[in-house]
Amino acid sequence: MMAARETPILRGELRHDEPLARYTSWKVGGPARQFYRPADAEDLAVFLQQLSADEPLLWLGLGSNLLVRDGGFPGTVIALQGRLAEIEVAGEEIHCGAGASCAKVARSAARAGLTGAAFLAGIPGTMGGALAMNAGAFGGETWAHVVEVQTIDRRGRIRRRLPQDFQVAYRQVQGPPGEWFLSARLQLRRGDVEAEQARIRALLERRAATQPTGLPSGGSTFRNPPGDHAARLIEAAGLKGYRIGGAEVSPKHANFIINTGNATAADIEALISHVQAEVERRFGVRLAPEVHKVGVAQ
């Protein structure tokens, strides 16, 4: 008689009804029905294999560019902050896990004498999110440097993929369905360490001077329309400082919506809709959100 197969033991951290406001940069969002922090890629594969095929999944890094509604997420959140965060330099390439912060990748590359990744210092998220949306800042874009990525599907199968497996555009990436990023190899180039570190400092100073970096926000709210800037249109519509509940269009940078202290996700979503409607009414341009909205309303 054959012995029953034992279910592999999970080594990560599993929680239930975990408030997601703790993990989003807007500091809003209801609870996740299930919340898992994997120990590593192998542990993540085991966890995914144990989920039902129709379980809703949400992958969470630093929680920027993400609006979780007040009713929470009725599925499983895979939280990568502080996990899958390896960064290794080999020659003119840098290998980084999906949970590595973009800013840390920029600094690590600069210390290793590699140039081309300084723009990542201006992205307030992880590499997983940067890969998923082709994040960019100050003229640089993530996928301009990608040599290879590693993905995982909901059955826990890990694959290596090349850039030609993906359709990449401005703040958009389409790849094989049902796969998520685990890591990437980026191609950089040798250069002046001090100059690259000075470039990072200058980018961070520019970001602090022009964006509300000290306040809860989701990052840039809207994509720039072709040939224009979302912030210019929003400001021209007279919406800087406009509020709904505790959500406000930043007086410092019009393409940022900030939580003034007591905002709900509903306030933020209503303000996003209002800005879209006003800009379209005034200028005939429908702004496309850069923010990913998930979950259910309360």
Which tens digits make up the pLDDT trace of 203-255? 889 889 999 988 999 999 999 999 999 999 999 999 999 999 999 999 999 99
Considering its fold, how many domains does the chain have in total?
3
Mean pLDDT of the chain: 94
* End-to-end CA, the chain: 52
Q: Which of 26, 49, 79 represents a domain boundary (last residue)?
A: 79
Q: What is the pLDDT of residue 73?
A: 98
Q: What is the tens place of the pLDDT at every residue in 97-131?
A: 999 999 999 999 999 999 999 999 989 899 999 99
Domain that holds residue 261: 230-294
Q: How far is residue 99's CA from residue 89's CA, in Å, rounded to a whole number?
A: 16
Q: What is the pLDDT of residue 139?
A: 85
* Number of residues that this document lists for the chain: 298
Q: Which of 79, 97, 119 represents a domain boundary (last residue)?
A: 79
- Tell me: pLDDT of 1 over 90: no
Active-site residue, 171 included: yes
Kindly state whether residues 50 and 164 are assigned to the same domain.
no
**Statement: the pTM of the whole predicted model exceeds 0.75:** yes
Q: Which of 154, 171, 232, 243 is catalytic?
A: 171
Q: Please name which of 46, 180, 178, 204 lies closest in space to residue 119, comparing C-alpha atoms.
A: 204
Give 2's Cβ-side CA count (13 Å radius).
Answer: 3
Q: Which of 181, 210, 239 represents a domain boundary (last residue)?
A: 210
Active-site residue, 290 included: yes
Q: How far is residue 281's CA from residue 238's CA, in Å, rounded to a whole number?
A: 12
Kindly state whether residues 204 and 135 are assigned to the same domain.
yes
Q: What is the pLDDT of residue 293?
A: 96
Rounded mean pLDDT, 26-41: 97
- Tell me: pLDDT of 5 over 60: no
